[in-house]
Amino acid sequence: MATSRKTVRAVMRGRVQGVWYRGWTVDEATTLGLSGWVRNRFDGSVEAVFAGPGDDVDEMLRRCHDGPSAARVGTVEVEPWSGRVEAGFRQLPSG
């Protein structure tokens, strides 16, 4: 059964920079077939936008709570996103 499309912005806080979190996010999101992007933020968090079938976006958000093995994720804040999302998943420069 197909699920509706979902697009969210997530901000991960904790020890999420310098632990390959962005690269891991690109790999995981690509494996799930999601579109969007990920970037480090100047405040030490990691920000991402995930777009795709709702079940796959929800799965990615579950994975974000763990992250790569060296990460220690404290919180994952999620909100709806209405901005433009290009096809494919990529890493953006810090912002």
Question: Considering 40, 63, 72, 84, which one is annotated as catalytic?
Answer: 40
Q: Identify whether 84 is a catalytic site residue.
A: no
Q: What are phi and psi of 7, to 5 degrees?
A: -135, 125
Residue 64, both tokens: 């974000």
Q: Is the distance from CB of 16 to CB of 94 less than 8 angstroms?
A: no
* Cross-sheet strand order for the sheet of 89-91: 72-80, 5-15, 46-53, 35-40, 89-91
Question: Considering 22, 63, 84, 90, which one is annotated as catalytic?
Answer: 22
Q: Identify whether 40 is a catalytic site residue.
A: yes
Please identify which residue in the block is written with the tokens 């995981």: 28
Residue 77, both tokens: 């804040």
Active-site amino acid positions: 22, 40
